[in-house]
């Protein structure tokens, strides 16, 4: 027999520290005492991601969301809610209060996420077209084919205010409109699925979880601009996403939703997959198009823009996976609906891949205008292991850091640029007090130097020179003049590099220099790395007063740099030490320290 | 000539929506849905899927459909599994391994009890609910 009610008590770390365990025990005891233990089951759950309002108790099937519950509330919850079936209003989170970012009626404020792009991810079997259709899949295509003119489609996108989710935020309707207005018998539609930012996997998950939404969106675009051929450019290192796309394409062709005379409308459209070899620069649209045509993936100067002259010199609309995934919803629910989500600057939602030193890493989709604080501390559950928050890197190697002082900046295209970062494709890497910002800048620059195609001088030589300077600084040989040079080269690259990769690659350096100048100065003036990351700047030593002579560290040291006899304080020979940090991890007495 | 007409597509959609509403997937009333994105698979979703199939087979349970879905976004607790049983709230379990999978079959599917410490919340409301209107 199933229970009538289920009480879920949040057992996340944050809630547990605010006595959720006691609430759980009390609820169980009260259920027994009041004779309803056969009617209700009390269970502990994982984090609900609403930690600031914890401890949280949720009662099913009513879906009552109780916040700031105290152990002493257990008796009342059982007596009122379970026995009398009345919600305990005093503890309820006010459900009528709509989120300030999304004026959509059914959004519950405690669920900070709002999923448009990921609407089907985790709901449908991606390899079964029927499940997509059952959730209104291809209903937008119906509208686009039978009820709308190309101009209607453009108007709908314009009302929606959708901007490109690949990073730059160019208005999608304008792009489509450019291509639509060019007279040409042959036009193309391209999906940019070349996701390359370190730590970003939003596009992969979308393709793996909901491949049909991309096919539907591209077909709608084809109808709008008058194209009959589409390409999906995806990296070969995403085998599952490719497989699911292939299955999806086969199923829609079999049903007649792709191919010749779609739904009897007389409109033909088909899609081909092109595999990329994983070069970062091929995510840049002009380089990507070169690669689709079988040429070497190198950017070409714009204008002409691809929307006017793209693949084989024909008008080509190229959008990112996330942009495409928004299209069917906009056409189906209307641009008006979409435009109400988000803030004044940017409409809709943004998907982020939340990684790094965060408790609840994962894919999150939030309305535009949500603050970084809400993402990191509410959805992400805060910093792991009780460490202190330092910064978040958005926009991958093209973006910059956002620090504590900007935690309350709304996340939209305009605000992020104002604080020296950018939206980027959606990678969000959280850093804590143990991360050295000079080292982080070096990591990203190393990546872009590696991935530079070498075609234009500012990127090829500028990046390499900047990296050399950063290496010099992290080795303890930096001078104040180096900082000026970094700024000068960086600013020059921004102005003169050929494509976005080169123009944005100095961003991590410039942004960390702006917000963490003190860390650069510590490396240059004091020859110290405050976070203890830059190996050449740290020394390990053993405090003789704390060392018990247990020999654990000496046995662990891979280069035999630690000497000493048993029960006597040990010593580290700094000339032999390779700074691997093993002794620090091994010591049980806290005698090893890093300077 | 088109393979499917507009009318046929609309009929197909209606039928599939009804099936979903009735919770009747190919004559089975319970569902176990395993998150099989790259993240889930890397965390061991394939082993979990196998464990479910084996356990259902061993216990001779025939009213449960085991299917797959994409990433739900709860990467920190992968593999994730959604369990749908009539008369019980839809439940999402995280950090599922073969042992937890067997427990889900015994306690949740057969015993109609939720399993403590593995329940997570779906991260957002479903905008496509009620036909997406």
What is the pLDDT tens value at each position of chain A, 595 positions in all?
A: 578 888 988 877 666 677 888 899 999 999 999 989 888 999 888 777 666 677 888 888 877 888 888 899 999 999 989 998 888 888 887 654 433 333 344 444 456 788 899 999 888 889 999 989 999 999 999 999 999 999 999 999 999 999 999 878 899 999 999 999 999 999 999 999 999 888 889 999 999 999 999 999 999 999 999 999 999 999 999 999 999 999 999 999 999 999 999 999 999 999 999 999 989 999 999 999 999 999 999 999 889 999 999 999 999 999 999 999 999 999 999 999 999 999 888 999 999 999 999 888 888 999 999 999 989 988 888 888 888 999 999 888 888 899 999 999 999 999 988 887 788 888 899 999 989 999 999 999 999 999 999 999 999 999 999 999 999 999 999 999 999 999 999 999 999 999 989 999 999 999 999 999 999 999 999 998 988 888 888 888 899 999 999 999 999 999 999 999 899 999 999 889 988 888 988 999 989 988 7
Q: Distance of CA B21 to CAs A115, B7, B72, B129, Å?
A: 21, 21, 21, 11
Q: For residue A328, which of A201, A193, A218 has the smallest C-alpha distance? A: A218
Tokens 């639509």, located at residue = A180
Is the CB of residue A107 less than 8 Å away from at least one CB of chain B? yes
Fold designation for A5-91? Glutaredoxin (3.40.30)
Q: Distance of CA A415 to CAs A215, A355, A500, A506, Å?
A: 32, 22, 20, 20
pLDDT at A241: 94
CB contact (8 A) between residue B82 and residue A122: yes
Give the three-class secondary structure for B43: coil
Given a contact cutoff of 8 angstroms between Cβ atoms, the answer to whether A344 and A417 are in contact is: no
**Residue ranges matching CATH 3.40.50.11540 in chain A:** 129-337
Fold designation for A437-524? de novo design (two linked rop proteins) (1.20.1440)
- Please say whether the dihedral angle defined by the alpha carbons of residues A103, A107, A109 and A113, taken in this order, is positive or negative: negative
- Please say whether the dihedral angle defined by the alpha carbons of residues A42, A45, A50 and A54, taken in this order, is positive or negative: positive
Given a contact cutoff of 8 angstroms between Cβ atoms, the answer to whether A283 and A194 are in contact is: yes
- CB within 8 Å of A458: residues ≥ 6 apart: A492, A493, A496, A497, A498, A502
Is the CB of residue A13 less than 8 Å away from at least one CB of chain B? no
Q: Could you give the CA distance from residue A29 to residue A33 in angstroms, rounded to a whole number?
A: 6
Q: Out of A44, A139, A241, whose CB is closest to B117?
A: A44
Is the CB of residue B4 less than 8 Å away from at least one CB of chain A? yes
Omega of the bond leading into A473 within 30 degrees of 0 (cis): no
Omega of the bond leading into B71 within 30 degrees of 0 (cis): no
Give the bridge partners for A188, in sequence order.
A229, A316
What chain B holds in terms of domains, given with CATH numbers, is 26-124 (3.40.30.10)
pLDDT at A104: 41
Q: Could you give the CA distance from residue A240 to residue A234 in angstroms, rounded to a whole number?
A: 11
Q: Could you give the CA distance from residue A498 to residue A356 in angstroms, rounded to a whole number?
A: 31
In angstroms, the separation between the Cα of residue B54 and the nearest Cα of chain A is 21
* Residues in A 256-285 with any Cβ partner in B closer than 8 A: 256-257, 260-265
Q: Could you give the CA distance from residue A182 to residue B91 in angstroms, rounded to a whole number?
A: 52
Q: What are phi and psi for residue A8, nearest 5 degrees?
A: -105, 120
pLDDT at A140: 96
Fold designation for A129-337? Rossmann fold (3.40.50)
**Into which CATH architecture does domain A349-432 fall?**
Roll (3.10)
**Residue ranges matching CATH 3.40.30.10 in chain A:** 5-91
**Could you tell me how far CA A578 lies from the centroid of its own chain?**
35
Tokens 């589409």, located at residue = A230
Is the CB of residue B38 less than 8 Å away from at least one CB of chain A? yes
Q: Which CATH class is domain A539-594?
A: alpha beta
Which tokens hold the place of A214? 């991309």
**Residue ranges matching CATH 3.30.70.20 in chain A:** 539-594
Q: Could you give the CA distance from residue A35 to residue A451 in angstroms, rounded to a whole number?
A: 67
Which tokens hold the place of A476? 């303890």
Q: Could you give the CA distance from residue A190 to residue A272 in angstroms, rounded to a whole number?
A: 10
Q: Which helix (DSSP H) or strand (DSSP E) does residue A330 occupy?
A: helix A321-333
pLDDT at B131: 45
pTM of this structure: 0.86
Which tokens hold the place of A113? 């996420």
pLDDT at A61: 82
Q: Could you give the CA distance from residue A330 to residue A160 in angstroms, rounded to a whole number?
A: 7
In angstroms, the separation between the Cα of residue A27 and the nearest Cα of chain B is 14
Q: Out of A125, A133, A263, whose CB is closest to B6?
A: A263
Is the CB of residue A106 less than 8 Å away from at least one CB of chain B? yes
Compute the mean pLDDT over every residue in chain B, rounded to the nearest whole number.
Answer: 86
Which tokens hold the place of A206? 């979308």
In angstroms, the separation between the Cα of residue B20 and the nearest Cα of chain A is 8
Structure ipTM: 0.86
DSSP secondary structure of A338-373: HHTBB-SS-BSEEEEEEEESBSS-EEEEEETT-BHH
């Amino acid at each position: 027999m199933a229970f009538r009610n289920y009480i879920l008590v949040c057992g996340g770390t944050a809630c547990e520290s605010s006595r959720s365990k006691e609430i759980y025990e009390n609820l169980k005891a009260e259920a027994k005492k009041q004779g309803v233990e056969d009617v209700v089951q009390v269970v502990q759950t994982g984090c609900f991601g609403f930690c600031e309002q914890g401890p949280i108790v949720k009662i099913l099937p009513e879906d009552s969301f109780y916040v700031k519950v105290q152990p002493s509330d257990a008796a009342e919850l059982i007596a009122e809610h379970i026995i009398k079936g009345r919600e305990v209003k005093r503890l309820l989170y006010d459900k009528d209060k709509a989120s300030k970012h999304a004026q959509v009626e059914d959004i519950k404020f405690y669920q900070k996420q709002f999923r448009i792009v990921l609407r089907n991810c985790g709901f449908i079997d991606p390899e079964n077209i029927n499940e997509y259709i059952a959730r209104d899949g291809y209903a937008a295509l119906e509208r686009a084919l039978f009820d709308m003119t190309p101009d209607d489609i453009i108007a709908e996108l314009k009302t929606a205010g959708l901007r490109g989710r690949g990073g730059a935020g160019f208005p999608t309707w304008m792009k489509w409109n450019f291509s639509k207005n060019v007279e040409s018998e042959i036009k193309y539609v391209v999906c940019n699925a070349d996701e390359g930012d370190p730590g970003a996997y939003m596009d992969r998950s979308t393709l793996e979880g909901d491949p049909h939404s991309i096919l539907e969106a591209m077909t709608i675009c084809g109808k709008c601009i008058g194209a009959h051929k589409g390409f999906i450019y995806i990296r070969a290192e995403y085998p599952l996403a490719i497989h699911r796309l292939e299955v999806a394409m086969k199923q829609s062709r079999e049903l007649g939703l792709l191919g010749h005379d779609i739904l009897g409308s007389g409109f033909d459209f088909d899609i081909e997959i092109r595999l990329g070899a994983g070069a970062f620069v091929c995510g840049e649209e002009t380089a990507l198009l070169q690669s689709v045509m079988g040429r070497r993936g190198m950017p070409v100067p714009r204008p002409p823009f691809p929307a006017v002259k793209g693949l084989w010199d024909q008008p080509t609309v190229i959008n990112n996976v996330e942009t495409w995934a928004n299209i069917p919803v906009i056409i189906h629910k209307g641009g008006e609906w979409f435009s109400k989500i988000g803030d004044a600057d940017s409409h809709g939602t943004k998907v982020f891949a939340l990684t790094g030193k965060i408790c609840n890493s994962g894919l999150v989709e939030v309305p535009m205008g949500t603050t970084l604080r809400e993402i990191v501390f509410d959805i992400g559950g805060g910093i792991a292991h009780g460490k202190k928050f330092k910064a978040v890197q958005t926009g991958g190697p093209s973006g910059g850091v956002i620090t504590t002082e900007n935690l309350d900046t709304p996340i939209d295209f305009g605000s992020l640029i104002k604080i020296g970062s950018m939206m980027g494709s959606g990678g969000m890497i959280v850093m804590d007090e143990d991360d050295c910002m000079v080292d982080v800048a070096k990591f990203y620059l190393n990546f872009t130097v590696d991935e530079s195609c070498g075609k234009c001088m500012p990127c090829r030589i500028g990046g390499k020179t900047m990296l050399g300077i950063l290496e010099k600084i992290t080795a303890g040989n930096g001078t104040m003049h180096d900082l000026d040079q970094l700024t000068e080269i960086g600013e020059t690259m921004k102005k003169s590099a050929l494509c976005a990769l080169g123009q944005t690659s100095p961003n991590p350096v410039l942004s960390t220099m702006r917000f963490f100048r003190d860390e650069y100065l510590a490396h240059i003036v004091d020859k110290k790395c405050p976070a203890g990351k830059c190996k050449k700047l740290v020394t390990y030593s053993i405090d003789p007063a704390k060392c018990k002579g247990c020999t654990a560290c000496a046995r662990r040291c891979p280069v035999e740099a630690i000497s000493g006899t048993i029960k006597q304080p040990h010593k580290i020979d700094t000339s032999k030490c390779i700074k691997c940090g093993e002794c620090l991890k091994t010591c049980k007495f806290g005698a090893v320290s890093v300077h | 000539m088109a393979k499917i007409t507009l009318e046929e597509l609309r009929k197909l959609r209606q039928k599939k929506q009804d099936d979903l509403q009735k919770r009747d997937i190919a004559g089975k009333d319970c569902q176990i849905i395993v998150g099989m994105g790259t993240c889930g698979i890397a965390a061991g979703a394939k082993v979990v899927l196998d464990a479910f199939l084996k356990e259902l087979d061993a216990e001779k349970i025939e009213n449960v459909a085991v299917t797959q879905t994409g990433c739900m976004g709860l990467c920190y607790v992968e593999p994730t599994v959604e369990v749908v049983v009539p008369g019980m709230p839809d439940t999402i379990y995280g950090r599922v391994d073969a042992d937890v999978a067997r427990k889900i079959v015994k306690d949740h599917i057969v015993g109609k009890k939720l399993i403590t410490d593995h329940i997570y919340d779906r991260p957002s409301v479903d905008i496509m609910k009620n036909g997406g209107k």
